[in-house]
Amino acid sequence: MFEVNTTSSKPVYLYFNENTTLSEVHEQISIDIECNTMLMRSDILDIFVQNQNDIMSVPDTDETLKEYLEKYPEYFTEWSGSLHKNIHKIYVMDKKYMNCIKENKPAPIYINNHNAQLKKEKEKNNENIFIGLLKTTIGAIY
CATH of the domain at 102: 3.10.20.90
Rounded mean pLDDT, 109-123: 55
Percent of the chain exceeding pLDDT 70 equals 69
Which one-letter DSSP state was computed for residue 75?
G
User: pTM for this one?
Assistant: 0.70
Total number of domains constituting the chain: 2
* Strand pairing report for 12-14 and 55-57: unpaired
pLDDT recorded at residue 54: 92
Q: Which helix (H) or strand (E) holds 119?
A: helix 113-141
Rounded mean pLDDT, 7-32: 92
Q: Which residues, in sequence order, are CB contacts of 97 under 8 Å at separation 6+?
A: 7, 8, 107, 108, 109
Q: Which domain holds residue 118?
A: 111-142
Q: Does residue 46 sit in the same domain as residue 67?
A: yes
Rounded mean pLDDT, 121-129: 57
Q: Does residue 57 sit in the same domain as residue 117?
A: no
In angstroms, the CA 28 to CA 41 distance is 11
Q: Does residue 29 sit in the same domain as residue 96?
A: yes
Is pLDDT of 97 > 60? yes
Percent of the chain exceeding pLDDT 90 equals 41
SS3 content of the chain, % helix, strand, coil (to 5): 50, 20, 35
Q: Does residue 32 sit in the same domain as residue 8?
A: yes
In angstroms, the CA 77 to CA 111 distance is 24
pLDDT recorded at residue 109: 63
pLDDT recorded at residue 80: 54
Q: Does residue 24 sit in the same domain as residue 45?
A: yes
* Strand pairing report for 88-94 and 2-5: parallel
Q: Does residue 102 sit in the same domain as residue 122?
A: no
